[in-house]
Amino acid sequence: MQVNNISTIQYYNKINSNKCIEHIYDTSLPHNNNTIYNYGINFHGKINKEYFINILTKDPIKEFKTFSKEEYLKLTENQKNKLRAEYKQLEEENPYLYQSMGEIHAYAAECLKKTFDKRFGKNNYIVLPIGRSLSSIGKSLELKIGKEHVINIPLSGASQYFSPTPTKEAYEYYTNRLKNDKGLNDFLKFLEEKHISKKDIETSNKHYILIDYCVSGFSLKGAEQLFKSNLVCGNKKNNIHAVDFISLLNRFDESIINSSIKKDSTKTNIHSKLENILYESEYKPFAFIGNSYFLNETTNASKAIINSNAIPRDTKLAWFNLIDKIMTGKGNFDVKLKSNIQKEIDKNKYPKQNIEIWNTPKSQYLSDLRNDLNELSKIFIEIEKPNNTNKLASETQINKLNSYYKYLISCYKNIQNTQDTTEFYQQRENIKKLINDMNN
């Protein structure tokens, strides 16, 4: 199901003007961040752009290109009340998209905050949302934990950096392709500007959490493999993590927020409505970054101000609503895990398997297996470099590497038949020790 078109003509009729515009949806058009009108509007007939801009901007929000916490704090209470009334009108016109959006984003952000505070320690982590879908949730989380703790990675095409087959040959092919990517230096520069370079991550005591709205999960896996590559950030401190947003959210009891979205009769729970707003919507109306399918596009995409096919004024009102809900405390929720989820995690089905809140025992196993294979492949690639003059490994270590690699490949080939992973987690202790020894 797709979100209904957010019609510029509908807004135009509302301000008592003639029908002199039509809305087009061509995302290939250049995006102009210096204008406040939508780049997807064609002007014709009696009216001109200047007249439309003057009409559009006669409200308290006109001076803002986008909307931030700092801009919110500049508003008077009268201005806030006017904007609340205008947002209420948006809800009535398009409840599918706008109704309870502030509560939903605040709830989702609170679930993330509670999870990461408990797992990594308060203020001891940096959240890295991937692509456009979670950029609005990331901005809502930013209001709760500070903007220095949330950095969006505008890489919509991250799935291309994932090699599905976790063999040494596939990983080497992936590494060579990445090495020859003309945009790699641009991406590394972007990471350096955001203080999440390899040096930053290796010298920091913080955890770095890649997070995406997952269905197939390939974009998240691609981003994880990209960051953990030795060409980008590596993972010597084991402080880079990948979190499936929907899997994490499904672990929480949404009954505490259901009452606030029951007015929307087509949706019965927060998760299905989030899916419609964030994933199924072709508009992604509240994304604050641009599309970036290649590494060399990342910097420009990160500088987008309004990246939406919705009316810019409506986008700003939506941001006002999100900030208003959180700043006034109306978006505060005492979130809690479902009771059976905590029991499942505490039970810890397999010895030595540490299940993250956002994983099931099986998904944790697959993640651990894939990461271990990639780490071994990285060591093999370094050892086998033809111009390598340093003796990186002893013959005994190399024999152990080969033995562990063959074992992990056999685990991968038998994934569908795996009923018990006890042996893997017993062997994993030895594998991790060897990897650490060689990395050091």
Residue 429: the pLDDT is 87
Cα atoms found within 13 Å of the Cα of residue 142, Cβ hemisphere only:
19
440 residue type, one letter: N
Quick one: pLDDT at residue 382?
A: 84
120 CB neighbour count, 10 Å cutoff: 17
Give backbone dihedrals phi and psi of 242, rounded to 5 degrees, phi first.
-120, 125
List the chain pLDDT tens, one digit each, 440 residues.
333 333 333 433 343 333 333 333 333 333 333 333 333 334 344 444 454 444 444 566 666 766 788 889 989 899 899 999 999 998 888 877 788 888 888 889 999 999 999 999 999 999 999 988 888 889 899 999 999 999 999 988 888 888 888 999 999 999 999 999 999 999 999 999 999 999 999 999 999 999 998 877 789 999 999 999 999 999 988 999 999 998 898 888 877 776 666 555 455 566 676 766 665 554 455 777 888 888 988 888 887 755 555 677 888 888 899 999 999 988 888 898 888 887 777 665 666 788 899 988 888 999 999 999 999 999 888 888 776 655 667 788 888 899 999 999 999 988 876 677 888 988 888 888 888 887 77
Q: Write down the domain spans for the chain.
A: 350-439
The pLDDT of residue 391 is: 61
| Closest C-alpha among 2, 104, 3 to residue 318 | 104
Positive/negative CA dihedral, 364, 365, 370, 374: positive
- The β-bridge partners of 243 are 211
What whole-number distance in Å separates Cα of residue 84 and Cα of residue 39?
Answer: 26
| pLDDT at residue 42 in the model | 40
Query: DSSP state, 278?
Result: I
pLDDT at 310: 64
pLDDT at position 44: 41
Give the pLDDT score at 269: 62
Q: Strand pairing of 41-43 and 21-23?
A: antiparallel
Q: What is the DSSP string of 323-337?
A: HHHHHTTTT-----B
Q: How many CB atoms are closer than 10 A to CB 162? A: 18
**In Å, what is the CA distance from 388 to each residue of 41, 334, 378, 383?**
58, 56, 14, 7
Q: Copy the structure tokens of residue 214.
A: 């997952």
What is the DSSP-derived secondary structure letter of residue 319? H
Return the pLDDT at 395. 82
